[in-house]
Structure 1
Amino acid sequence: MKTEFIIERQRKFYDTGKTRSYAFRKKALCRLESSVKKYEKQLIAALHRDLHKSSFEAYMTEIGMLYQEIGYLKKHLKGWMKPERVPAPLAQFPSKCYRIKEPYGVTLIMAPWNYPVLLSLEPMAGAIAAGNCCVLKPSDYAPHTAAVMEKVIKDAFPTYYVATVLGGRKENECLLEQNFDYIFFTGSVEVGKLVMKKASKTLTPVTLELGGKSPCIVESSADISLAAKRIVFGKFLNSGQTCVAPDYILADQKVEKKLIFYLRYWIRKMIGEQPLSNPDYPAMINQKHYQRVMNLIRHEKIAEGGYGDCVSRQIAPTILIHVKEDAPIMQEEIFGPVLPILSYQSLKEAKALIQRRPKPLALYLFTKNDKVEQDIISHLSYGGGCVNDTIVHLASSYMGFGGVGHSGMGSYHGKDSFDTFTHKKSILKKTGSLDIPVRYMPYGQIKERLMRFFLKF
């Protein structure tokens, strides 16, 4: 079915007003949840084929989190939909003011390949909860998962309400030429710039969930073994193909050697002495990205790993030491299982290095020092993060998730998802029983004094 025809049908359906009721939205979320459960085994199998994800990791990082988000949306949706009363200014007496939550209309969700189920269906659930129609464009880099998701959506919804468009760059370009009411994009910075450029032609609002080089600071007071354990978890999950993975470590010189020891220890403890033989260890998405990451390792000093298998597209968990700030691996987001370590002598030095770079999507700090914690949180700008852990801040429907500056704009998860896909329409309602004449001409000194009095409140 042609893209233009899909959008035209969705716009006609949206204009009927059927998507606006609470009952319709709640039922749609239930249908999505039921369809995902129906195809859960197929989704897990597809994730293994595309990314070599284990069933445990597939459920923990994608399907389970999706169920949690849908449940949260269903639980709170009725309250979020209610009109919001706000105070009316005295200058407009007698009146009442309120805001109505209305959908944008026909929305486009462009999803990435690294978490192809979660990062497709989680924002889509938010769009549905907000009363929109939706076109989903999964990444063609994870074709098996995209094919199953198409089944999930066809089983749950008619295409005039929610539709999937499969394909690659050609289909992406075609979609971006259409006139949507909202675009939600997750992916690279470069493609995000293209999406924003295209959206600007029709003044379409956008949310951009991008990435960047997320730093991890290990301060001298930290529990080094626990820090290393949690860094290994966050970094090598999905073979490092996580937008909020720790991209590089800034380690206090006093604890650098100890940190390296425990990083190596926990890699071997968790993933094994022969990580490429571990059946649960994921692979790079394709040969292009496998080779890109392997090239970044060249000419760097390796403390652990540093090798791969081009047939299975797996790269061993790799630790790089004595890395320079101007090294090639520090110039782009790694998006693979390679972790460079840079050392610092003072926290001021570490902060300055981060501030010289574009604002990251995440920042992680390991410390027991409350003053250090407040210093970092207060003086560095980043999308979100953790103190004494990695990546798990995005696992809560109670907190929004999103970037700032170079790492994106807008936020979602839980109520932030509902708000992202909702326009708040402000209304002031006046009665006809009383019409205070102060604002009307002719003006005079008495009216001006009254006007100045009223506008104080």
Structure 2
Amino acid sequence: MSREEHAVRRARSGFRSGRSRPLEHRRQQLEALLRFISERRSDIADSARRDLGKSQNGVELFEVVVLEVEIKLAVEKLAEWAAPRPVEKTLLTLSDEIYVQPEPLGVVLIIGAWNYPWAVTLLPLVGAIAAGNAAVVKPSEVSCHSARVMEELLPLYLDQDLYPVVTGGMSETQELLKQRFDHIFFTGGSAVGRVVMEAAARHLTPVTLELGGKSPAYIDKNCNVAVACRRIAWGKFVNCGQTCIAPDYILCEASIQDRVLEELRRSIKDFYTDDPKTCEDYGRIINRRHFNRILALMGGGTVAVGGEADESQCYIAPTVLKDVSGDSDVMKEEIFGPLLPVVSVAGVDEAIRFVNEREKPLVIYVFSNDGKLIRRVKAETSSGSLLANDCLIHFSIPALPFGGVGNSGMGCYRGRHTFDRLSHLRGCLIRRLQMEAVNSLRYPPHTTGKVSWTRRFLLLQVKQGGLRRAALLVAMLSLAAFVTQRFLRRG
């Protein structure tokens, strides 16, 4: 038996024991995960620095804080999320219990990504634990130092049977995908996403695919261009551009292109100094393979800002490209690096067409003071999310579902959305062996009168909390029983 199969069997056995289901156990495990993050801050920061050149404060801001918020929210809301959820009744179900009961799916496989190795791996785990599942955690082998710390230290805090960590590369992942899971949660690129989905289909396993794509940022010529460019530069060059929701390219009219380029140059200097290579807050490309891939894309336009590179450090400066056409190489794939192409369009009409001619992005950014223009972009495009006048911050809001559509992914998570995604929402109806006269409406012989009365009863909805209306409907139900018994037998 392989190590991967053993881990899955161990998690399955732990889940079947029932240990993961009680709310108190879920709460204890979530609090243990919070202790792990608190007590192992230095290990987490050091591993992210070695993998991606991240500063300690950068790790705190973009990985640790978001995890702390997610865990504390899950602990606070756990009882509410897990409670039965009442639904509207019809007159025929007025005296019944009718509700939706969230229940655990079983064993979840979580395949993390390397760009934010802690946040994107452990955020789904928070939801898996809160929903009462077992989970096999597979961190990305590309961020090898973070994966090693996760493998060594996470089992010291969490139930090792219910939440095993499996490390390794492609062969280990392929072995895991041969196993049967109750849900697979994958964060990464669309090519691997297709492999994951194909493997899941063999077991009819549902999937959540958090992918990526080319997320555009449209700048309206009448907005505050300086502020727009400052926010775009921040969103683009955080983590050296290795962010799935980073603005991938800018669309703007030619009349403001020079100003856009100048404001981007100014913002980059403000954020990362004249020499980003020496700036603590500017990281590195994950490895040389990605370094060379990104460098090859730089030929898709004219370098307007930056362009410096050092292979020995996997360093590429924050770079802005102009004279970029829609069919250049840099526009054919997600950049996932510190290159920002600026594409000229005639206006919002052409910008919308440009976006719609391509795969649906993970997010669309639009910068404008015109609410009508923003609403138009929202109405005439499709994307996982839409954010006006800022970048990235929608991911920090657990109340918003985060996820893609089409080529940018399927399914969503964050906060309660993760809990629901990793739960089976079981419909429950608890009836009594009474009021049998009303039930005769559905029993043969089926008459015109029975159909007519059934239609009336089913169309009457009873909202929760409507006591006066409910009392009235109780009386109507009694009348219905009388009518059914006395008259409908005649047909």
Match of 2:445 in 1: 442
State the SS of the aligned residue for 2:114.
coil
Corresponding position of 1:208: 209
Q: Secondary structure at 1:46's aligned position in 2?
A: helix
CA displacement at 1:385 relative to structure 2? 3.2
Deviation at 1:92, TM superposition (A): 4.4
- Mapped contact 1:94–1:434 kept (Cα < 8 A): no
Name the residue aligned to 1:120: 121
Contact 1:87–1:96 at 8 Å: present in 2 too? no
Q: For 1:96 and 1:88, locate their aligned partners in 2 and report how far apart those are by CA, in whole Å.
A: 9
Task: Name the residue aligned to 1:384.
Answer: 385
Could you report, residue by residue, the CA deviation over 1:290-325 in whole angstroms, capped at 9, with x for unpaired residues? Answer: 000000112521101112000000101111001000
Residues 300, 330 of structure 2: 8 Å contact kept: no
Write the distance in 2 (CA, Å) between the matches of 1:78 and 1:322.
Answer: 55
Q: Distance in 1 between matches of 2:129 and 2:355?
A: 38
1:42 aligns with 43
- CA shift at 1:278, angstroms? 2.0
Q: How does 1:21-420 map to 2 (within 5 A)?
A: 21-92=22-93, 94-298=95-299, 300-420=301-421
Greater Cα shift, 136-145 or 381-390? 381-390
| Structure 1 residues 245 and 438: CA distance shift in structure 2, 3 A | same
CA distance in 2, matches of 1:409, 1:7: 24
Separation (CA, whole Å) in 2 of partners of 1:15 and 1:88:
34
Task: Tell me by how many angstroms 1:106 deviates.
Answer: 0.6
- Aligned AA for 2:441? V
- Aligned-pair Cα RMSD in Å: 1.3
Following superposition, the deviation at residue 455 of structure 1 comes to: 3.6
1:280 is displaced (CA, Å) by 2.8
User: 1:166 is aligned with what amino acid?
Assistant: T
Helix, strand or coil: the match of 1:20?
coil
Alpha-carbon distance, 1:217 to partner:
0.4
Residue type of the alignment partner of 2:455 = R
8 Å Cα contact 2:242/2:337 also seen in 1: yes
Instruction: State the Cα deviation string for residues 240-268 of structure 1 (Å, max 9, x = none).
Output: 00000000000122321111111011111
Aligned equivalents of 1:328, 1:84: Cα separation in 2:
50
What amino acid maps onto 1:308 in structure 2? A
Q: Secondary structure at the match of 1:162?
A: coil
TM-score (normalizing by structure 2):
0.91
Whole-angstrom CA distance in 2 between matches of 1:456 and 1:279: 64
Deviation at 1:100, TM superposition (A): 0.8
Whether the aligned pair in 1 keeps the contact of 2:300 and 2:329 (CA below 8 Å) is: no
Distance 1:452 1:386, change over 3 A: closer
SS at match of 2:115: coil
Deviates more, 1:91-100 or 1:220-229: 91-100
Alpha carbons of 1:234 and 1:299: their partners in 2 closer, same or farther (altered >3 Å)?
closer
> Structure 1 stretch 388-397 or stretch 83-92: which is displaced more?
83-92
Determine if contact 1:135/1:162 at 8 Å carries over to the other structure: yes
Q: Is the 8 A contact 1:10 1:161 kept in 2?
A: yes
Q: 1:58, CA displacement in angstroms?
A: 0.8
Answer yes or no: is the 8 Å Cα contact 2:100–2:426 preserved in 1.
Answer: yes
CA offsets, 1:89-139, max 9 Å, x none? 234454231111101011100001000000111111110011100100000
> Which sits farther off after the overlay, 18-27 or 150-159?
150-159
Counterpart contact for 1:66–1:121, Cα < 8 Å: yes
TM-aligned CA distance change 1:85 to 1:443, over 3 Å? same
**Structure 2 Cα separation of the partners of residues 246 and 443 of structure 1:** 61
Question: Residues of 2 paired with 1:211 and 1:55: CA distance?
Answer: 26
Q: 1: distance between equivalents of 2:443 and 2:149?
A: 64
> What TM-score results when the alignment is normalised by the length of structure 1?
0.98
Determine if the alignment matches structure 1 residue 452 to structure 2 residue 455: yes
Distance 1:328 1:109 in 2: 32
Per-residue deviation, 1:448:
3.0
Deviations 1:325-353 (A, max 9, x none): 00000000000000000011121011000
Closer/same/farther in 2, CA of residues 71 and 4 from structure 1, 3 Å limit:
same
Which segments of 5 or more consecutive residues in structure 1 lack a partner in the other structure? none
For residues 105 and 127 of structure 1, the distance between their equivalents in structure 2, rounded to whole angstroms, comes to 9
- Aligned equivalents of 1:236, 1:24: Cα separation in 2: 40
- The 1-side partners of 2:23 and 2:315 are apart by 46
Letter in 1 for 2:215: S
Q: Shift of the alpha carbon at 1:370? A: 1.2
The residue type paired with residue 344 of structure 2 is S
1:9 corresponds to: 10
| Structure 2: 5+ residue stretches without partners | 461-491
Q: Once structures 1 and 2 are overlaid, which stretch shifts more, 52-61 or 395-404?
A: 395-404
Give the Cα separation in 1 of the matches to 2:153 and 2:67: 13
Q: Specify the SS of the correspondent of 2:283.
A: coil
AA partner of residue 437 (structure 1): S
Tell me the percent identity: 37
Q: Residue 312 of structure 2 aligns to a residue in which SS?
A: coil
Counterpart Cα distance in 1 of 2:278 and 2:271: 13
Residue 124 of structure 1 contacts residue 134 of structure 1 at CA under 8 Å; is this kept in 2? yes
Secondary structure at the counterpart of residue 352 of structure 1: helix
Residues 217 and 251 in structure 2, CA contact (< 8 A), matched pair in contact too? yes
CA–CA separation in structure 1 for the residues paired with 2:162 and 2:37: 17
Taking the aligned partners of 1:65 and 1:456, their CA distance within structure 2 comes to 45
Determine the C-alpha separation between the residues in 1 that align with 2:328 and 2:19.
Answer: 55
Q: Which has the larger radius of gyration?
A: 2
Partners of 2:134 and 2:300 lie apart in 1 by: 50
